[in-house]
Amino acid sequence: MSLLYLPNVDPIPLPAPVWLFKVLHIATLMLHFVAVQLILGGLTLATVWNLFGKSGSPMAGASDSVVKKLPTVMTYVINFGVPPLLFSQVLYGQTLYTSSVVIGFYWILVIFLLIAGYYLLYRAGDRADAGRSWWWMGLVSLVLLAYVARIYATNMTLMLHPERWLALYVESGGFGGVMPKVDPTTLPRFLFMTVGALGFGGIAAALLGQYFTHTDDVKRFLTRTGSLLGAVFLAVQMLCGYWVYAAQPAVVKEGFWNSPIGYYGAILWAVFSVAALASIAAGGLIKGSLSRLLVSVAGLAAVLMTAGAVLARDAIRDLSLLAVGFDVWNRTVVANWSVVGIFLVLFVAALVLIAVLLVAVNRSMKEVKNQNA
């Protein structure tokens, strides 16, 4: 019956197999989710530390150190967001385009929220450089960026419910300015990404303490407090993850464990969440080079944990859409391998370039710091 609500499939066949688009989508979305957790988690921690840290204290020093990195992180949030958006529009265009139009006002609002949030990050970094407090700018930026997350969580839920589109469209007079009524799955997936992001943020703070030049006090604060908060909020994220699963309709829950992507994704997520939690907790308690090793292991585990979450999320989406008559695998494919080959070469080259860029930025930041010292 729900097929009635779905727009016709694009008559142009897919230029590459569905599995290839899926692999690319999952790989790039994992990078986007890592960056999203870093920006939301890092900004929350830095803002709170800036609010409560007295001038000259390790807490204030740590907050300044974190906020100065955030504009760079933001470039990765955006640039790692574009590729999965393109891949998901190829695979799920019938539903994702439609739900985006149905809440079009909010979907376009994202651009303005991003510009304002990004601007405030730069201004906060400037104030940190000048030794001035900036927490209120961080707070406004955080609210704007968290609202972007809310719009994403809402749209990614709405795209799974074609039966809700028409009523919403009519209600908003075609303007796209009415948010859908609360769905039981939206809050847990929003909290998983936002509150859960503090786990990743804590690990990143500890890594910052271990790998960047700071005074001993600031280094200790970043490592200890970052590790403690990282461990606590990784546990909170695990609870949110279970809540995301528990809030799904019965048909999705039943199919989830029979879907290899869901099954292995959930196991990967659970195993590496526990590994990240254990190593960051131990890294915060132990001193010396072992602490640096454990914090690094936690960082790697957190990336793999995110990969698991992205896989499990993918299974949940496909099962939800299957229940309303949309099968993502059911597409006409006319593979154009020469174009696919060129794309893959450019894609890998771009990833290598990004890595080179990161190393170069890191090196130049250290040089500037040494010159100023």
**Residue 160 or 282 having the CB closest to ligand HEM:** 160
CB of 183 to ligand HEM, least distance (A): 11
185 binds ligand HEM (CB under 6 A): no
266 binds ligand HEM (CB under 6 A): no
152 binds ligand HEM (CB under 6 A): yes
**Residue 42 or 209 having the CB closest to ligand HEM:** 42
CB of 32 to ligand HEM, least distance (A): 6
**Residue 204 or 282 having the CB closest to ligand HEM:** 204
Reference 2, options 323, 318, 227; nearest CA is 323
Q: Which residue is closest to ligand HEM by CB?
A: 81
Hey, how many other C-beta atoms are within 10 angstroms of the C-beta on 258? 10
**Residue 189 or 214 having the CB closest to ligand HEM:** 189
197 binds ligand HEM (CB under 6 A): no
Q: Which of residues 80-119 bind ligand HEM (CB under 6 A)?
A: 81-82, 84-85, 88, 114
153 binds ligand HEM (CB under 6 A): yes
58 binds ligand HEM (CB under 6 A): no
Cα(326)–Cα(347) distance, integer angstroms: 29
Cα(130)–Cα(139) distance, integer angstroms: 19
3-state SS, residue 198 = helix
Cα(318)–Cα(103) distance, integer angstroms: 22
Backbone angles phi, psi at 25, to 5 degrees: -60, -45
Structure tokens at 214: 């700071």
Cβ proximity of 165 and 8 under 8 Å = no
Reference 249, options 326, 320, 161; nearest CA is 320
281 binds ligand HEM (CB under 6 A): no
143 binds ligand HEM (CB under 6 A): no
CA 182 to mean position of chain CA atoms: 22
Buried b (16+ CB within 10 A) or exposed e, 352-365: eeeeeeeeeeeeee
208 binds ligand HEM (CB under 6 A): no
The binding site for ligand HEM (CB under 6 A) comprises 29, 32, 36, 39-40, 77-78, 81-82, 84-85, 88, 114, 145, 148-149, 152-153, 156, 189, 193
